[in-house]
Amino acid sequence: MPTTKKNDLYNILLGQLLSQDEGIDAEILTNSALNAIKFASLNRNFPLISNILLKASSDFQRNNSSLNQIVFGSHFKNPVGLAAGFDKNGVGAGLWNYFGFGFAELGTITWHAQEGNPKPRLFRIAKEKAALNRMGFNNQGAENFLKTIEKQKILAPGNRPCVLGINLGKSKITPLDEAHKDYSLSLKLLAPLSDYAVINVSSPNTPGLRSLQGTKQIKKLISTLKDLPNCPPLLVKIAPDLSNEAIDEIARVAMENGIDGIIAINTSLDRFDLKNLKIKTGNTLGQENGGLSGLPLQKRGLDVIRRLRRSTDNDLPLIGVGGIHSARAAWERITAGASLVQIYTGWIFEGPNLVPDILDGLIQQMEKHGFRNIKEAIGSEEPWK
């Protein structure tokens, strides 16, 4: 089995930058990486690029049948995915499998193109392996997203090396009482591209969006989208700041209205005992707007998955995200009830080796517990050994 090294090129080149809050703006750094990924995805069949990608795949992929499973009708080669928010415009849609991901969630995409909130709006909190963002669904809009995917000549759903989900949000200019129309326009256009689609009603950075998690609003949104003739498997992504009672209610509504899965959790307005920590702006974390992501959310993410598993009687696929920075954290999320896990902030801080590290760890844990397939670990509550 291939092994990964922490002193790899990623850490040599970026380790110092990522170990401090100051320095190159976090959004500029992210966009630079995405530009390189965009070029590689568009030109992935060119000899030089294809050779580099072949080397990457040998380093990062783990082709082990024990990691395979079918979830909401799609074949996942492994349970580790890229969370929404990194590849907002789908520029790397043809590339994510080379990094070892079993799936990637693109977006968040809105019907109208929008610039998002004023900059700066993304901040590293390096010591805590966290980030603060108030991006505001900056993206090129659904129609441009479609063109971006078509240019990459992505295979149709069901034939891809990597499952692709599409995360949908509400345009800022759309009134809340017309949100269902906004989501519907995007999904109607993008459904043929989607292995699954996600209703994002939990970002803290679009005014009023989280109110759509209310029972009446979410039922209207679900029914509108489910009525589309080509609606793919439909998931909802929830906030970590909901009460336990609100989580139970969303689970009930989801199951009664044909939702295919729940993603938990989005970024948090809670500061998790870090509210007095000063960040790059000179203000404390408690004084700044935006959602917190990364390691501080690990416990809450685990608690919400456990809650959802009980609320759904273990009868609805769950995707665990938030604070997953290690193989152990991924194992704990899966054994708590998640069928799949997603990473983003952890991937940035730990580097691309995090994916194969997690996959190697999952394989080792299954061997230690006598599991033949990852599905046997889901909800088992078996400890990390």
What is the predicted pLDDT for the residue at 113?
A: 98
136 annotated as a binding-site residue = yes
Mean model confidence pLDDT for the chain: 94
**Rounded distance between C-alpha atoms, residue 213 and residue 202, angstroms:** 7
CB 163 within 8 A of CB 75: yes
CATH for the stretch 9-377: 3.20.20.70
Annotated domain spans of the chain: 9-377
Asked whether residue 163 carries a pLDDT value surpassing 50, the answer given is yes
User: Cα–Cα distances in Å, from 323 out to 5, 283, 314?
Assistant: 21, 23, 22
Query: What is the arithmetic mean of pLDDT over 69-82?
Result: 97
Please state the pTM of the whole predicted model. Answer: 0.95
pLDDT band (50, 70, 90) for residue 13: low
Asked whether residue 8 carries a pLDDT value surpassing 80, the answer given is no
Structure tokens at 3: 């092994």
344 annotated as a binding-site residue = yes
What is the predicted pLDDT for the residue at 372?
A: 98
* Residue 88: φ, ψ to 5°: -65, -35
pLDDT tens profile 101-138: 999 999 999 999 999 999 999 999 999 999 999 999 99
**Rounded distance between C-alpha atoms, residue 37 and residue 105, angstroms:** 15
CB 142 within 8 A of CB 109: yes
Looking up tokens 């568009």, which residue turns up? 42
210 annotated as a binding-site residue = no
| Close Cβ partners of 275 (under 8 Å, ≥ 6 residues apart) | 284, 285, 286
What is the predicted pLDDT for the residue at 15?
A: 60
**Rounded distance between C-alpha atoms, residue 182 and residue 166, angstroms:** 15
Query: What is the arithmetic mean of pLDDT over 217-240?
Result: 96
Query: What is the arithmetic mean of pLDDT over 350-359?
Result: 96
183 annotated as a binding-site residue = no
Active site residue 203: yes
Of residues 203, 268, 311, 326, which has the active-site annotation? 203
Query: What is the arithmetic mean of pLDDT over 152-167?
Result: 96
100 annotated as a binding-site residue = no
pLDDT band (50, 70, 90) for residue 93: very high
266 annotated as a binding-site residue = yes
Looking up tokens 């809009």, which residue turns up? 141
What is the predicted pLDDT for the residue at 53?
A: 95
Looking up tokens 């000899």, which residue turns up? 47
